[in-house]
Amino acid sequence: MVVSMNKQQYLEKTLGEKQFSPQKDSVKAFAPSNIALCKYWGKDNEELNIPVTGSLSISLTGMGTETALSIIDAKHDAIFLNQTQIDNNNSFAKRVIAFINLFRGDQQWRCRIDTKSDIPIAAGLASSASGFAALTLSLQQLFNWQHDLSTLSRVARLGSGSAARSLWNGFVLMQLKEDDAFATPINKKWPELRIGLLIAEEEQKPISSREAMQVTMNTSPFYKTWPDIVERDLTTIEEAIAQKDFILLGKTAEQNALAMHATMLTAQPSICYWKTSTIENMHKVWALRDQGHHIYFTEDAGPNLKLIFLAEDEEKVLAHWPVCQIIQPFTLPLQAVVNK
Ligand code: PMV
């Protein structure tokens, strides 16, 4: 049973190998960031990052993380973030090195990892999702694996739960199956759909999602309602996508995000990622809806809202939020992630 395994045992079971030896000197991969329309919040298994529920996301096609990995002749790994070397004791570097260690066993190779991300790190814009997905795709090349993307999704999940969904463009469903969890793409295009990034705050989040989930699960009286809410919302969002029912999609995604934040706000101590700008923007969205514009929002573990709307409301969105960065998620083929 997966439940009692540690990460190494899980990798051996999932990839069918124990030892991984680099087959190339340098590799590079890109993965898109993703935004959950039905959120993942809480782990059933901390060691293996197995979530309590499934989740469903949309990838920010073309926006994400590029990771270059090269083998170096050195005593320590060298971690670069957006072209600046960071201390190996920095929390980001530690997570990356811990992930690489899972594949190194007792081998002595060291590497340089260059992560370039066009999204603010740790501002609740799923930078860890694209980061660990890109790193996993780099490892596929480094070790010359031929694993399919759902297998790689299980590997990426060990780095960050949401990374499991960052291996495809378009809508992606994360499912729980027999004590395991992995994502698969949803084969449905919705070219008119738009995601707007409202980046009002760029500072690092005060509490990591990992820690926040734990506190919420352990202390919020509302958390026990969460799995049922997700089960209901997942079905509704899948239906909304199948029928291209935008109002149903937007409404359900917004309520799902607010329900997740309600579990956090009622945790002890309370976890509130909201800033003044977050609430101001929520009211702006609701006022525009009262005027008949179908604009919705979602919010992750950070203060920045992501708007969900259709192409017909693009001008309205830009008139109200001139700095809004608009993503067209369906400009690239669905199945062609990302490089193999
Ligand atoms: O994968 P993590 O540990 O960064 O957690 C992601 C949590 C949310 O972004 C809030 C929700 C989600 O499903 O992406």
Residue among 237, 224, 227 nearest 298 (CA): 237
Looking at residue 112, the DSSP 8-state letter turns out to be E
CB atoms near residue 258 (< 10 Å): 14
Residue of the CA atom closest to atom 10 of ligand 1: 300
Output the CA 4–ligand 1 centroid distance in Å.
Answer: 23
Phi, psi of 89 (to 5 degrees): -95, -5
pLDDT digits (tens), the chain, 340 positions = 456 899 999 999 999 987 789 999 999 999 999 999 999 999 999 999 999 999 999 999 889 999 999 999 999 999 999 899 999 999 889 999 999 999 998 888 999 999 998 876 544 555 789 999 999 999 999 999 999 999 999 999 999 999 999 999 999 999 999 889 999 999 999 999 999 999 888 777 789 899 999 999 999 999 999 999 999 999 999 999 999 999 999 999 999 999 999 999 999 999 999 999 999 999 999 999 999 999 999 999 999 999 999 999 999 999 999 999 999 999 887 765 554 4
Residue among 137, 164, 187, 165 nearest 28 (CA): 137
Q: How far apart are CA 21 and CA 25, in angstroms?
A: 11
| DSSP H helical ranges for 185-329 | 209-219, 226-243, 246-265, 276-290, 314-320
Q: Does residue 330's CB lie within 6 angstroms of at least one atom of ligand 1?
A: no
| pLDDT of 122 | 45
Predicted TM-score (pTM) of the model is 0.95
Atom of ligand 1 nearest to the CA of 174: 13
Measured CA distances, 141 to 137, 150, 152 (Å): 7, 16, 12
